[in-house]
């Protein structure tokens, strides 16, 4: 009966103007898209300390609704302040003094509250268990990311680390073993070429002194065979290329034949 009611609701109540296809999540998808649509790349652009002139320009230009031209001007202020402080930090042997002036903290917290509310509504009103579960997991991850941005704004390192680990768990011992085995293999390859021996040795030194990692660089038969297999061979015939216009026409034709017009 529940399935029948849900099907009838989908048939009768689904606003067909939105999509010609039936979507199991039609009740929630537009709300979720709106809450999850934000420019985190711009928000998380690090800046150095502003000069008085830069701060004045920022105050005049910054608002929560920015056109592309204004975003570009603000990005220039951020970039020049960051580069200036990075150069000073290197010269003074200190950590850079970075901050994140583009984070709209009220909007971040509003989106967190909206996602929490949406998650509660879906858990109560969505009849499909799979839709409920998928939305819960997706919304939870979106909230973690917004919490991470909030922690960045607050300068809260512990909170930032907590949500960073939720989004990017610490690799397992097996994963680290595999990664380091590939690093070792790349260094072994580098040691075979005179022009990059020095760079390979410097990388080994960095691993030992800065990361406290010691890699066994001795050879075995398997290493020798893998190194031989990775030697780049010169192709016997020249590779054929196509022009940009030919590539463009190919994709236009493929999209047109698939029903996509004016792409």
* Span 32-69, pLDDT tens digits: 999 999 999 999 999 999 999 999 999 999 886 778 89
- Do the domain assignments include residue 242? no
- Do the domain assignments include residue 60? yes
- Do the domain assignments include residue 5? no
Give pairs for 37-41: CB < 8 Å, separation 24+: 38/107, 38/111, 40/145, 40/149
Tell me the per-residue pLDDT of 149-174, one tens digit each, with 9 for 90 and over.
999 999 999 999 999 999 999 999 99
Number of domains in the chain: 2
Residues 6+ apart with CB under 8 A from 84: 48
Average pLDDT, the chain: 86
Query: What is the pLDDT, as a whole number, of residue 9?
Result: 56
Query: What is the pLDDT, as a whole number, of residue 263?
Result: 65
Q: 90 and 198 share a domain? A: no
Nearest Cα residue to 23 out of 140, 128, 155: 128
- H-assigned helices in the chain: 2-13, 29-35, 40-43, 52-61, 68-92, 105-125, 129-154, 157-167, 173-190, 197-209, 221-229, 244-257
Q: 137 and 43 share a domain? A: yes
Query: What is the pLDDT, as a whole number, of residue 16?
Result: 44
Query: What is the pLDDT, as a whole number, of residue 53?
Result: 95
- Do the domain assignments include residue 240? no
Q: 88 and 42 share a domain? A: yes
Tell me the per-residue pLDDT of 79-113, one tens digit each, with 9 for 90 and over.
999 999 999 999 999 999 999 999 999 999 999 99
Q: Which is higher by pLDDT, 224 or 170?
A: 170
Q: 38 and 160 share a domain? A: yes
Work out the average pLDDT over 200-209: 92
Q: 138 and 64 share a domain? A: yes
Residue 208 has pLDDT above 70, yes or no: yes
pTM for the full predicted model: 0.67
Q: 177 and 157 share a domain? A: no
Q: Which domain holds residue 155?
A: 19-167
Query: What is the pLDDT, as a whole number, of residue 68?
Result: 87
């Amino acid at each position: 009966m529940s399935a029948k009611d849900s099907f009838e609701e989908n048939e009768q109540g689904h606003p067909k103007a939105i999509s010609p296809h039936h979507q199991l999540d039609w009740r929630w998808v537009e709300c979720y898209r709106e809450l999850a649509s934000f420019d985190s790349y711009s928000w998380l652009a690090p800046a150095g300390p502003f000069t008085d002139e830069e701060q004045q320009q920022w105050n005049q230009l910054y608002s929560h609704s920015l056109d592309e031209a204004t975003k570009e001007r603000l990005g220039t202020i951020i970039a020049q302040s960051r580069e200036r402080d990075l150069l000073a930090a290197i010269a003074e042997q200190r950590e850079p003094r970075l901050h994140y002036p583009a984070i709209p903290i009220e909007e971040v917290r509003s989106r967190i509250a909206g996602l929490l509310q949406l998650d509660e509504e879906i858990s109560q009103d969505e009849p499909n268990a799979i839709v409920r579960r998928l939305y819960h997991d997706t919304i939870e991850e979106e909230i973690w990311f917004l919490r991470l941005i909030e922690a960045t704004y607050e300068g809260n390192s512990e909170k930032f680390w907590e949500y960073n680990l939720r989004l990017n768990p610490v690799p397992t011992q097996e994963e680290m073993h595999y990664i380091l085995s590939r690093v070792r293999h790349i260094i072994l390859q580098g040691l075979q070429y005179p022009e990059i021996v020095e760079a390979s040795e410097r990388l080994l030194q960095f691993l030992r002194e800065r990361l406290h990692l010691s890699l066994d660089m001795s050879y075995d038969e398997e290493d020798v065979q893998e190194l031989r297999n990775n030697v780049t061979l010169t192709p016997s015939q020249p590779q054929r290329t196509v022009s940009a216009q030919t590539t463009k026409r190919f994709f236009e034709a493929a999209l047109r034949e698939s029903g996509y017009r004016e792409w």
